[in-house]
Structure 1
Amino acid sequence: MVDPGRGEAPGRGRIGRRIGRRGLLTAGASTVALGAVGWQVAPPQYAERLRTGLGIGPEAFVPDDPEGEVRVERVTSQAMGGVDLFTAVPAGHGDGAGLPVVVVLHGSSASAAALRDFGLGRFVTAAVRAGAPPFVLAGTDDGPAGWVADGRVDPPRMLRDELPGWLAERGFDAERRALWGWSRGGYGALRFALDEPAWAAGLALFSPAIGPGDPLLGDLAPLAGLPWGLWCGSWDPFRDGAAALAETAPVAPDPWVTGDGGHTRAYWNDHTLEMLDWLTGTLPPA
C-alpha cells in the first residue's frame, strides 16, 4: 500500500517530488485556532468538513506547467444527443497527432466543459514533463443518471461506439487508450470496464461511488486481466465500498492508495500526477 504522505507508488519514483504538495489553509489566526480545536475535539473527517464548510479547507493543488492545446467542442452523439468533448494535449506536442488517449469520466458535480477549470490541461503537461509517455486526455459529458444508460441516453454505448471515432478524427491514436474516473465517474468507469474489459489498457479509479453491498461487486471476474489502480482517502464516505472492491476483486488493485483525505478535489489532485504516471504506463507502445 502506498503512503500518500510520500506520494509515490512502489517502484514509480519519477514524479514523487512533484506530488506531495498540498494547498495551504487560508492565512489568519482564526484559521490556525480552528484547525487546532478541530483536531483536538473531533475525528479528522469532522474537522475537515467543518473547515471546508467555512471556506478554509485546503486548496486543490494544480501544477504550474502550461497547457498545450486544450479544446471543448460540441459533438453530435446518436447515443446521447449533443455532448461536449474535452481534449488536452501536453504543451510541446502540437495537436497531439498519433498520441494515445487517457479517457476521463467526471463526477456528478462536473462536466466536460469544467475539466479545464480543474487544471487537467496543466496536469497533462506536468505528467509528461515528469516522465510519463506523451498522451492526450479526453472526456465527455455524462447523462442524467451518470455513466449508465437510463432509457433516454446511453453513455456506455457512446463510449464504446462513438468516442473512439471522434478521437481518431482528431488525429489521436484512439486504439491505444486507458480509462480513469472519479466519484460517480469512478463507478461508471468500473462498470464499463467490467462490461468491456478489452476496451482500455488500464483502469484508474478515484473514490468510486460504490457501497460495500453494491451488486456490481458480485462479478468482478473481468478485472482479472486488466491492470487497475484504486485511490480513496481514509475519510471518504465511499471508503468502505472501495475497500470491499479491493478485497473482492480477483486481482487486488496495484496501486491501492489511501491515507488522509476525503471525497474532495484536494485529495484527488494530490494523487493525479502519480496516477497518470502509472496509468500511462499501461498503454501499449505505438
Structure 2
Amino acid sequence: MRRRVLLAGIAGGSAAVAAAGLWRAWDGPEPVRPPAPAGVERLERVWSAARGREVDFYTAVPHGHGDGHGLPVCLVLHGGAKRPPDFAALGLGGFLTDAVRRGTPPFVLAGATGDRLAWRPSAADDPQRMAAEEIPAWCAARGFDPARLAAWGWSMGGFGALLLAEARPGLLRAVAAFSPAVTPGDAVFGGITRLGDTPVGLWCGTGDPLHPNVRALHDALPTPPMAGGYGAGRHHFGYWSTILAPAFAFVGATLHASPTA
C-alpha cells in the first residue's frame, strides 16, 4: 500500500562537535507566527513503559475542531534543543490552525519527550517504540484516530521520523522532515530502501550545514520526495516556521487520502 543524525549520523569526533553547534543554532530568529489562534493544546505527564519513566506528552487540535475526536494524528519528533513543554511557545497550535484555515484537512499534533537519543533504543530506553506504540495508544484514549498516522520532525527528529518509517513499514502514511540530521552511511541511509513508496516531504535551508547531506538523502530516496524544497535558511525555527504551511498541507492531504494498493 502507498502508506507508507543528528545523533545517529553523528557518532563521534568532529561530528559530535557539529551536533553541539546545531543545537546552539536555536539562537536564530524567532518563528514567524501566523495570526491564527491555537485550538485545544494540552501538556500532560504520562508513564512510558518503553522509556521507563514519565514523559511530557503534548497534543494540539486545530481551532474550531473541538477536542479533535476522530481526527488523524501527526507525530511530532523533536530535535535536540526543544521539548514538548516548548511546543506551545513555538506556536505549533497556531500554525496548525493556520494550515487548516488555508484548506489543509484537519489533523492532530502529538509529541512526547524522546531526549537526545536520536529516537533510537539505548539499552532499556526506547523512544522509537514509544513513538510507534505508546503515543498512538495515548491518542486513541483521547479520541483521536491513530489508524491514520504521519510523522513530522526537525533536525534530530527529522532523522528519527525517517528512521521510524524504515523500522516500521506501513505504520506511517507520510513523513515530513525538516533539515534531518543525516549523514551518508548512517542508519537512515542504510535502511533507505525500506521507505518503499512512503510519501516523504523533505525541506532544508541552503545555508544549513546539513544541506549537502540532505540533498544526498534526496537523491538516494527510492521514490522522489512528494513535497519539500531548498530555500534560503539555516538550522533554526526561524527558517522552519516559514515552511510549516506547505509541510502541514502535505501531511494533512496524505492523512486524509484513501490508501491505494
TM bin, normalised by shorter chain, reads: 0.7 to 0.9
Contact preservation (8 Å) 1:211, 1:240: no
Give yes or no for the alignment of 1:63 onto 2:34: yes
User: Aligned match of 1:264 in 221, 230, 236?
Assistant: 236
Which whole-Å CA distance do the structure 2 matches of 1:210 and 1:99 have between them?
A: 31
Question: Please, which runs of 5 or more residues in structure 2 have no aligned partner?
Answer: 1-20
Choose 1 or 2 for highest CA Rg: 1
Contact preservation (8 Å) 1:71, 1:86: yes
**Greater CA drift, 137-146 or 90-99:** 137-146
Which whole-Å CA distance do the structure 1 matches of 2:198 and 2:257 have between them?
A: 17
Amino acid at match of 1:189: A
Question: Please, which runs of 5 or more residues in structure 1 have no aligned partner?
Answer: 1-48
Q: Secondary structure at the match of 2:147?
A: coil
Give yes or no for the alignment of 1:124 onto 2:86: no
CA displacement, residues 135-164 of structure 1 (integer Å, 9 cap, x when unaligned): 111111003423111114101111122111
Shift of 1:285: 5.2
TM-score with structure 1 setting the length = 0.78
Which whole-Å CA distance do the structure 2 matches of 1:87 and 1:69 have between them?
A: 8
Q: Secondary structure at the match of 1:282?
A: helix
CA displacement, residues 112-151 of structure 1 (integer Å, 9 cap, x when unaligned): 1111111001011111111011111111100342311111
The residue that corresponds to 1:94 in the other structure is 66
The residue that corresponds to 1:25 in the other structure is none
Query: Percent of counterpart pairs with the same letter?
Result: 44
Which whole-Å CA distance do the structure 2 matches of 1:101 and 1:75 have between them?
A: 18
The residue that corresponds to 2:153 in the other structure is 181
TM-score with structure 2 setting the length = 0.85
Shift of 1:90: 0.9
CA RMSD of aligned residues (A): 1.9
Amino acid at match of 1:65: A
Which whole-Å CA distance do the structure 2 matches of 1:65 and 1:240 have between them?
A: 34
Shift in CA distance, 220/73, structure 1 to aligned 2, threshold 3 Å? same
Q: How does 1:250-261 map to 2 (within 5 A)?
A: 250-261=222-233
Shift of 1:78: 0.6
The residue that corresponds to 1:138 in the other structure is 110
Amino acid at match of 1:138: A
- Where does structure 1 differ by over 4 angstroms across 4 or more consecutive aligned residues? none
**Greater CA drift, 166-175 or 251-260:** 251-260
User: Aligned match of 1:279 in 236, 251, 254?
Assistant: 251
Contact preservation (8 Å) 1:201, 1:284: no
Contact preservation (8 Å) 2:77, 2:158: yes
Q: Secondary structure at the match of 2:88?
A: coil
Q: Secondary structure at the match of 1:283?
A: helix
Q: Secondary structure at the match of 2:68?
A: coil
Give yes or no for the alignment of 1:239 onto 2:239: no
Shift of 1:252: 1.5
CA displacement, residues 21-47 of structure 1 (integer Å, 9 cap, x when unaligned): xxxxxxxxxxxxxxxxxxxxxxxxxxx
Amino acid at match of 2:243: H
Q: How does 1:194-213 map to 2 (within 5 A)?
A: 194-213=166-185
Give yes or no for the alignment of 1:75 onto 2:46: yes
Amino acid at match of 2:43: V
Report 1 or 2 for greater relative contact order, CA contacts < 8 Å, sequence distance ≥ 6: 2
The residue that corresponds to 1:23 in the other structure is none
The residue that corresponds to 1:172 in the other structure is 144
Which whole-Å CA distance do the structure 2 matches of 1:196 and 1:276 have between them?
A: 22
